Amino acid sequence: MGQATWNSALRAMVLTAPGAALTMQERPDPVPGPGEVRIKVSACGVCRTDLHVVDGELPDIRYPVVPGHEVVGRIEAIGSGVSDLTPGMRVGVPWLGRTCGHCAYCESNQENLCDTPQFTGYTRDGGFATHLVADSRYSFPLGEDGDDVSLAPLLCAGLIGWRSLVMAGPGKRLGIYGFGAAGHIVAQVAQWQGRSVHAFTRRDDAEAQRLSRSLGAVWAGASEDTPPAALDAAIIYAPVGALVPLALRAVRKGGRVVCAGIHMSDIPSFPYSILWQERQLVSVANLTRQDGLDFLKIATEANIRTHTTAFPLARANEALAELRDGKLVGAAVLQP
């Protein structure tokens, strides 16, 4: 956990090998090093990226590791050099957990592409625990409005959703492929902005389609269906490469398709004709601190409401299984 030293004890759900079930372990309580804070976790969202970590689908995972990167909690202790955060503050910790600050990307306002980043719950221990140590620069003050469980999904599903929505451009007709944690948040932001949302789900996912309509979607259907009018842009949240050609066919000339996941199955070959006429295919990687500041302000202004199912920390494996099997509507959140 960063530059931490140790005292007392914490409890964490730990991943010891690819595909292994998480196991509850007791560890020394971390003491924050320079530039760090120790946070007592009150809620941690369960994200699809956590599945990619657990299943060993991401490179360079160092075991053992504590997953979880949608963390809400209160600061218990601060390390040297931290002046803008104080004990007792409620903060949120996102996926991007540390950047170098001096590579070409960091120096050009593209810290999301940092050459030597650290990621919460992947390359540094995350929030499936009672406590964690975080870089103070990537600990966002959350204020006191809203409950911890409802806020947790904003720290990744919301942040990556926001970045992907910005990258989609200002078009009015927006398609969302995969209406889970990120989709149901972005749909609310898009509607608040005056866009019309078209929700694409698995054909048999009546619950997700119902949720999308309840959040104001003007149309909901299967991913293979043709929307009633050509879309200005589409965002793909489901990690399914086969959705890319479907989304390209659904957008208008000059439209844009945004792939928002960190991992996706292979994209099948497709005819150049569905990319032609200046359609664009782009990806989203991580986030910047400015994304966090912008989105958390927007979330308040747009009165975003997350749909969550809470699980005790000890049932993290059950929450991951329900996410993997598509049984969740909205987002799962762990509570220590």
Domain count, the chain: 2
Q: Is the pLDDT of residue 1 over 80?
A: no
DSSP reduced 3-state for 263:
coil
Per-residue pLDDT at 329: 85
Residue 5 has what pLDDT? Answer: 41
Query: In this structure, are 19 and 109 located in the same domain?
Result: yes
Q: Is residue 48 part of a domain?
A: yes
Q: Is residue 266 part of a domain?
A: yes
- Helix (H/G/I), strand (E/B), else coil: 137: helix
pLDDT number for residue 142: 96
Q: Looking at residue 162, which CATH number applies to its domain?
A: 3.40.50.720
Q: What is the mean pLDDT of residues 177-190?
A: 95
pLDDT at position 137 is 96
Nearest 5°: the CA angle 261, 267, 270 is: 135
Asked if the structure places residue 289 within a domain, the reply is no
pLDDT score at 9: 79
Residue 290 lies in a domain: no
Q: Match 């360079």 to its residue by tokens.
A: 60
pLDDT of residue 8: 53
Q: In this structure, what is the dihedral angle of CA atoms 294, 90, 186, 48, given to the nearest 10 degrees? A: 120
Task: Assess whether the previous peptide bond of 245 is cis (omega < 30° from 0).
Answer: no
105 and 231 fall within a common domain: no
Q: 94: cis peptide before it, omega within 30°?
A: no
Q: Are residues 71 and 137 in the same domain?
A: yes
Residues 170, 64, single domain; the answer is no
Percent of the chain with pLDDT over 90: 93
Task: Mark whether 145 and 21 lie in a shared domain.
Answer: yes
Q: Is residue 294 part of a domain?
A: no
DSSP state of 15: B
Lowest mean pLDDT among 182-186, 202-206, 258-262: 202-206
Give yes or no: residues 144 and 15 share one domain.
yes
Question: What is the structure's pLDDT at 118?
Answer: 97
pLDDT more than 70, % of the chain: 98
Per-residue confidence at 328, pLDDT binned at 50, 70, 90? Answer: confident
Residue 192 resides in a domain: yes
- Check residue 4 and give its pLDDT: 42
181-192 and 206-214 helices cross at what angle (nearest 10)? Answer: 20
- Residues 26, 93, single domain; the answer is yes
Domain of residue 73, residue span: 5-153+306-335
- 311-336: average pLDDT: 94
Q: pLDDT tens digits for 105-135?
A: 999 999 999 999 999 999 999 999 999 999 9
Q: Is residue 300 part of a domain?
A: no
Q: What pLDDT sits at residue 3?
A: 41
In this structure, are 27 and 76 located in the same domain? Answer: yes
Q: In angstroms, what is the C-alpha Rg of the chain? A: 19
Q: What is the mean pLDDT of the chain?
A: 95
Say whether both 9 and 94 belong to one domain.
yes
Domain check: are 186 and 104 in the same one?
no
Residue 113's pLDDT is 98
What tens digit of pLDDT does each residue of 45-98 get? 999 999 999 999 999 898 999 999 999 999 999 999 999 999 999 999 999 999
186 and 276 in one domain?
A: yes
Final residue in a domain of this structure, among 268, 283, 298:
283
CATH of the domain at 98: 3.90.180.10
**Beta bridge mates, 46:** 332
Angstrom distances, CA of residue 295 to CA of 206, 290, 303: 29, 8, 12
Residue 293 lies in a domain: no
> Could you tell me the pLDDT band of residue 29, with boundaries at 50, 70 and 90?
confident
What's the token pair of residue 102? 């001096």
Same domain, 145 and 180: no
